[in-house]
Structure 1
Amino acid sequence: MKARFGPATQLHDTWRQHTLAGTKIPPLSNPIIASFIEPVFGLPQAQRNEDHLHGHVGEWLWHLLTKDNSAVRVQLDPKGDVTDAGADGFSIYETSTGDLRFRLWESKKNTGTASLSTSLNKAYEQLAVSGQRYVGKIVGTYGQASSDTSDEVMALVTSLPAAWLQGDELVGAGVTISTHKPLPTMPFKKMAVKLPLLSKPGQLRGLATSIDSYIEIANLVRRYAWTAL
């Protein structure tokens, strides 16, 4: 929630104080704070999209499970609305030799009737079809989104569009899937076939998270977001 409110820290503090106390936000402030919560979560008395909720929680699972890796230099918080056009996430990280690399991530949730392989194939297709556009958007807005604008990071960032087109070793792709279903032994076995340009060692990564109570956890997160409304 702190990430959703961004620099509006006073609004976040108001939401948090009332949430922890179990009290309602005063009427004058309620619609203001609700405007930060409505994307993804919806509002208590309005129609809401469960797919967006489950997908958003999946993006945060990926972020929280990977952001503290000592190699990671840049990894932004997930965006506040899963319907925003663009990449689900990216990382700039250091290799064991200290070289900087970029990885574009696509996130999928699987909580419906579709098979895991169907969800994964959609992720591969998005990276293959839209990856260049995603990279372009990341590069175009990087200075506004990230505080790490060191010379070495910016040198990597400006080289990304051409590197992605060529499948250069500077870039890679990752797919993360979150579900409540059992996982197959090798969930990402088709990834290399679907993304043939990224064939160099270390260019492809997959993260699969299976939690029996995944849907219940997503509902719990939303219930916390709504407590004070």
Structure 2
Amino acid sequence: MSAFATRASRGAGQRCPWELVSMGGHSDSERGAVAWIIAEALMRQRCGKVTHAFDSWRAATLGGTPLTGQRRQLVTAFAEPVFKPQIDPAAKPHHGVPGHVGEWLWYLLALESPDTPARVREYLTPPKDNVNDSGGDGLVIYRSRSGTGPELLFRLWEMKKYTGKDDSVTDTVRGAWDQLSEHGINYVISQIAWADREVSGDVGIFVSELADLWLEGHPSSGAGVSVATNTSAAPKQRAFTTAHERIPHLRHDGQLEGMIVAIDDFPDFARHVQELVWTAL
């Protein structure tokens, strides 16, 4: 994924530094390659331990031969909660697809982000299978390398997409911070059950403390907002400047992070991912 992206740090010196990830200007084949990376990754995750379902989907998609019979029923059950196409031409656009694709963009970019001198990633949640599920969109746990402060850190992430005509993500960013401020504790709790099955040792103990740490605004807690949008709507220099005002209980330096992922005609890109997921069905 990162091979197709230009990543630039922004907002140095402000309470919420952020990253601009530009994925515009690609050829059709490059754009298709990025869409395939996402489609393949999310279907692998959705199928989970039912590996023959993923293998069948992948072979049929690459081979251009639709699945039939029971195997088609099986793979469809994994794909349709988000990606089933709308048959009625008069129906409203399926906003769940761009939102889900935006979550996977954040996840794959986070997965490929290198460790830094300040922290090492210990745990990263994959996106939920259904965009309508309640709870936080992402949770990352880090081990600090700073030598001072908490040894373990967590960041609760909220992902949004912006496909409007005003070419401004400002209101979307503000709304995401407000959502984290109001419902963050519920999102943290929803993540605890998932993470608790995946980690052990001191990280497992840390997971059991996340809810209290969030409510306290403890230095080990933190939050992030990521917005996937059109290239034309992406801010070039200034964004997330008032994040600390929207979520005031996170008052310590380093607790807030932001990301903007910019893709040419993002709704069309999301439709391409949907087509790749559904083409064998």
TM range (shorter): over 0.9
Matched, 1:78 2:127: yes
SS in 1 for 2:135: coil
Alignment of 1:19-58 (within 5 A): 19-43=61-85, 45=87, 49-58=93-102
Aligned-residue Cα RMSD (Å) equals: 1.7
Matched, 1:220 2:272: yes
SS in 2 for 1:67: helix
Alpha-carbon spacing, 1:195–1:111, altered in 2? closer, same or farther (3 Å): same
Deviation at 1:158, TM superposition (A): 1.2
Distance 1:164 1:76 in 2: 17
Normalization by structure 2: what TM-score?
0.76
Q: Which residue of 1 aligns with 2:146?
A: 97
Distance 1:23 1:112 in 2: 36
Contact 1:169 1:200 in 2 (8 A): yes
**Percent identity among equivalent residues?**
35
Contact 2:152 2:203 in 1 (8 A): yes
Distance 2:141 2:87 in 1: 40
CA deviations on 1:122-141 (whole Å, 9 max, x unpaired) are 10111011101111122234
SS in 2 for 1:85: coil
Q: Which residue of 1 aligns with 2:241?
A: 189
CA deviations on 1:128-185 (whole Å, 9 max, x unpaired) are 11101111122234233x2x32x11012111111111110011000000110033222
Amino acid at match of 2:223: A
Distance 1:140 1:210 in 2: 32
Of structures 1 and 2, the one with the larger relative CO (CA 8 A, separation 6+) is 2
Q: Which residue of 1 aligns with 2:38?
A: none
Amino acid at match of 1:54: P
Contact 1:37 1:43 in 2 (8 A): no
Deviation at 1:7, TM superposition (A): 0.8
Alignment of 1:198-209 (within 5 A): 198-209=250-261
Deviation at 1:49, TM superposition (A): 4.7
SS in 1 for 2:70: coil
Q: Which residue of 2 aligns with 1:59?
A: 103
Deviation at 1:200, TM superposition (A): 0.8
Amino acid at match of 1:24: P
Normalization by structure 1: what TM-score?
0.92
Contact 1:101 1:171 in 2 (8 A): yes
Distance 2:190 2:234 in 1: 33
SS in 2 for 1:36: helix
Contact 1:100 1:170 in 2 (8 A): yes
Amino acid at match of 1:129: E
Deviation at 1:95, TM superposition (A): 2.2
SS in 1 for 2:145: coil
Q: Which residue of 2 aligns with 1:154?
A: 204
Mean CA deviation greater in 130-139 or 167-176: 130-139
SS in 2 for 1:124: helix
Gap runs ≥5 in structure 1: none
**Matched length:** 226
SS in 2 for 1:112: coil
Amino acid at match of 2:267: I
Deviation at 1:44, TM superposition (A): 6.3
Distance 1:75 1:142 in 2: 9
Distance 1:35 1:43 in 2: 13
Distance 1:158 1:33 in 2: 35
Alignment of 1:137-148 (within 5 A): 137-144=190-197, 146=198, 148=199
Contact 1:167 1:197 in 2 (8 A): yes
Distance 1:43 1:28 in 2: 20
Gap runs ≥5 in structure 2: 1-42
Alpha-carbon spacing, 1:37–1:49, altered in 2? closer, same or farther (3 Å): farther
Contact 1:44 1:226 in 2 (8 A): no
Matched, 1:122 2:175: yes
Give the alignment partner of residue 186 of structure 2, picking from 108, 124, 133: 133
